[in-house]
Structure formats: C-alpha cells, structure tokens
Structure 1
C-alpha cells in the first residue's frame, strides 16, 4: 500500500518538465515545483530508514525540504509509523485509516440511474476532473487545476498507470476518482463529489466503478485511505482497516528564520555561484550568476514570492565576464577599505552599462530563489555571500 501511494505521488512528475522526483532505497520525494502548493503535489513517502540512520536521514531530509521554499506533505504509512517526526519539529496532521479488500469481496456495481461514469480520455475531461478535485478546498485550489493542466500528456498516455474516472449527472461533471495500478495493488484515490451533489451515492458509485476496473485489470487487492467520516462507508462496501496513514506537513520556513547555510549544502540543493552583484534592493536585482554551469547576466523583473523572483537572463561572453569580475574586485576592495570609487571602476561601469541592463532578443525569463551561505560578510572577491537556484 505504501509503495502504491509513493508511486502515485510521483509518476506524473517523472514525465513532466519542471517537476522532479528524488528516489533512494529508503525514501521518495516528489516536487511539483508549483509555488503555493500546500503539499498536495509536493510529497514525501515510502520512508524505510535503517534503524541506525533514522535520525540522520530524517533531519537531513527535513532540512532540505524546508529550504526549497515550497510546502511539502510527508505521508507516513504503517511501515514508517515509528519514524520520530517530532525530533525535527514535524507535527502530525490529518490521519486516515489504511483500508483494503480483495476485489472479489466487493460487490459488482450496478448502473447508477443518475450518474454516467466514464474514464477520462481527453484534455477537456481531465480539466473537468481537476475542477472537481479543486472544489474540495475553499476557495477552490488553483494549484490543483494548474497541476493537471501541466501533466495532460502524461496523464492521458496509454501506458499511464493512473485511470481517471469522472461521473456526469445529466451531462454535468459532478464526481471524480482515480484508480492507480502499482505494486500488485489497485489504489483508489481522490474520490470527490461537488458539494451540491453529495449524499446521492455518487462517491460510492465512483468507488465501485474503480474496483470493477481493478478486477477487469486482474488485480486481487484494492486499497484506499479513509477519513473518520468516510471509513464507515468503505467498511459497508467491504473494505477493512489495517493501520494508519498520517500526514506530517513540512511548512515553508520564512527566509528570515533560515539563517546561514554552507555552500556545500546549497550546492547539494541545486544552488549555483553568483559572480557579481551590480544592483541590490530587497534581494539581487542585477548581476552575473551561473545557470546550469554557464555564466549569465540577470536582471530582476519583479518580486512575486516571499523568496523567489522573476528574472530576465542571457549568457555573458568571456570578455564581459572578465571585465565584470575585475569591476567586482575593485568594488569589494574599495568597500572594505572605505575608499572612494577608483577611476578604473568608473571606467568599467561606463563600458559595461548597456551590456548589463539591456537584455537581447534571445533572453529567457526564468525564476530564482536565493540563499545566503556561511560567509560572515556581505561579499568577498569571489562574489556576494549568497547563491541562486534557477528553474
């Protein structure tokens, strides 16, 4: 069941640009890269740490997640119930019963007179599915709609292990659910019905349709997670409880609370070197930084997030980079000595002004987060005391 949940959490990320999956023998981390997601698609699961490594692995993982600038949800199932989440200040949130059944023990569904259930096959149907799920939040979760809009090709691929079901009431999409086939388990997820259409048996009908699809696919075991409210419904259908799944939210840590981080740690998280800072106001405005190992000019366009900004970037040529680095060293030397700006620095700034601030037609617009490293100064000859991660 935990293996099914973990794969369900990450299989679309693997096939979607801008999303990442980090997997080791003892953990899976799915990062949607979507700003504002509250842990719906940024998920940690399948933790099975060795006893002598639990504290170290837990501490390092929680540390890395908190530095991403995005909220995560750590899903702990029966196999990871003993992980000491409290030692890294993670507090248990929602708890759901781990429920399962043999498909042969679940009744074959009859046709619901007021609900037409079909498998999602088109982008329009997937958009309907997403809107039903998003309506479960108040206000509706825009990140849910954004996620499914981005994963359309993967979700609709013939070899996708996720089968999305949608129920139409007189042509109107009102109920949804998903069957996910992995690890010899047919997992049922995201059973949702619009508020105005609840208590009509639509959710149960979608669930039974999912079980029927699992039977048709040759699966003997079907599993789901149930809240206290829905557990009696699943029991009535033939499911039994066997342990718990507990959510441990990993919240965003405000920038001012993160302190200094070693460059080695930042590099391990994907941050890159900043060569030059030419202007700064509430964070880097213009300068030169590495992006995927290649030096680029950057100009901040606006500040959209607490710690992530939008930049125009374009590669810098070797001559300009050498001149920028010379200018930076002169600036740092004068700053540290409390001296006036040297004439050579004024000359270089005049020469480089247009190159720094005028993006060419080929410039890209991308986002970056920035983090301070451990140097106890504003800057040194090698660059300012922060690094940037681009996406």
Structure 2
C-alpha cells in the first residue's frame, strides 16, 4: 500500500486518542511542537500516551516536556511511534532512557476488499447504545485483557455513549456477551481497537466476525480499515484481507525505572 495509507493511520491514531479519553473525569489533552499527549487520568500506563502529529523542531525538548507532564500526572511516559518514521524522535527517546518495549504491526485493508469470516451459529452482534449493554462491555474488558475493574468502569463510563467519533459493538451467545470491539472513524479511515473474545469462546470465528461487524457499522463513506493486532490475532486479520503496512513501537522506561517512577 502507498505511503498515504501509513500517514492516514498515523493521523487516525492522533484523532482517536483524545476521543477515547475525553469523556473521563480528570483527563488532559496537551499539544505542542508536533506532539500530542493524551492523559486519561486512569491508573493504567497503556491508557496514557504521547503521539506525533508532525516532526518536532526540538525533539528532545518536546519529549522532555511530555515526560514532565506524565510525571506530574503520576504516570510513566509512553510514546507511540511508527518505526523509522521519526528518527530524530527515536534518538531523543533513547537519550531520555526510553526503549521500544512493544512492537506490533499496523495492518490495513480496503473496506471493499475485506472477507469477513462466518461465525458459528448462535452468535449475534449489536451496537452498544444503552447503559445495560455498556455494563456488559465493562465485564468483557475486565475478563479479556484483563483491566482493573475501576479502570474499566471509568473507561466505559456512561458518558462513553455520548461520544460521536467512537462506535462500540459486542457479540453475544445465548444472551451472554462474549466479544467486543470499537472503532474510530476519521476522514474515511476506520481504526479498530479493543477487539477481544472470552477465552472459552475463541477459535470459533467470533473475533474476526465482531471486527467485520464493527467495521460494517461504520463503513458509510469509508474506504480504509486499519488496526494494530497482537500476535494472537494477526492470523485472524490476515485471513480477512488485512496486510502489514508499517511497524509501530511503544517507547517507555525499562521495568526497574518504571517501578521507581511509580514508587514501587
């Protein structure tokens, strides 16, 4: 796929994160010198992030300010970078003692080319539109990932239903919620997040099917779908037609320094 696709993914990340956290009490969004910091005010470092809108004029200064903001909010700096896209920022990150703790592919597909799997009989899908269904999504978040309950309850609090940029979906079997996904749409590109299936319901095609359902629900006017899968889910998305277009890394402190930063 052309470079334009990776640029749309990078922009989609920048647009999605503020929407993902803006409903949470105490959240904070900062932007300067090409960086975006989205702090959720949740006690989970993976839900607080620094992203790149453009190459900073002063990469080390920009990251140093981001690190200060994270510390001020009681979190450890995390920076999501497309590998090789911002070499000056990678050098600055190393100067601050950060390293790429997580590496995962960004995968993309034309919406029209997707080949969704057919789930087994008895699986149904629905958008999350009510507090009752939202509560089921909280339970899935806790059981699948696993996320601390107080974090999940705030991440998917009632105000989540007011967000216009994010659409959430669940899959059920005999009335029980068994899988989840949510998408964020920006300028015709659908970013897929939070796909997960309860362990006892895996290998039934439900993960791919809930992904396809969530994309279809947001497909009007969209031409591209993208996601960043774990190793566990990559083969599922490849079977649907997704292909790797870039590698993304999460830069953060080594474990020992993270523990000290958290006062452990």
TM-score by length of 2: 0.84
Q: Which is helix-richer, 1 or 2?
A: 2
- Structure 1: stretches of 5+ with no match in the other structure: 256-304, 308-391
- 1:329-355 CA-to-partner distances (Å, cap 9, x unmatched) read xxxxxxxxxxxxxxxxxxxxxxxxxxx
**Unaligned stretches of 5+ residues in structure 2:** 1-8
Find the counterpart in structure 2 of residue 11 from structure 1.
19
Deviation at 1:238, TM superposition (A): 0.5
- Using the alignment, how far apart are the partners of 2:192 and 2:111 within structure 1? 12
**Deviation string, structure 1 residues 298-335 (Cα, Å, up to 9, x no partner):** xxxxxxx969xxxxxxxxxxxxxxxxxxxxxxxxxxxx
1:147 partnered with 2:157: no
Contact 2:55 2:86 in 1 (8 A): no
* C-alpha deviation, 1:142, in angstroms: 2.2
Q: Secondary structure at the residue paired with 1:212?
A: helix
Higher relative contact order (Cα pairs below 8 Å, separated by 6+ residues)? 2
Specify the alignment match of 2:6 in structure 1: none
Aligned CA-pair RMSD: 2.5
SS at match of 1:71: coil
- The match for 2:212 is 208
* TM-score, normalization by structure 1: 0.58
Rounded to whole Å, the distance in 2 between the matches of 1:117 and 1:69 is: 38
Count how many residue pairs are aligned between Structure 1 and Structure 2: 250
Answer yes or no: is 1:70 the counterpart of 2:78: no
Shift in CA distance, 214/109, structure 1 to aligned 2, threshold 3 Å: farther
1:248 matched to 2:242? The reply is no
Matched, 1:55 2:60: yes
Q: 2:47 aligns with which of 41, 45, 50?
A: 41
Q: 1:99 aligns with which of 104, 107, 127?
A: 107
CA–CA distance in structure 1, aligned partners of residues 150 and 103 of structure 2: 23
Partner of 1:198: 202
What is the aligned counterpart of 1:114 among 99, 122, 126? 122
Q: CA deviation at 1:171?
A: 0.3
d(CA) in 2 for partners of 1:189, 1:95: 16
Q: 1:234: which partner in 2?
A: 237
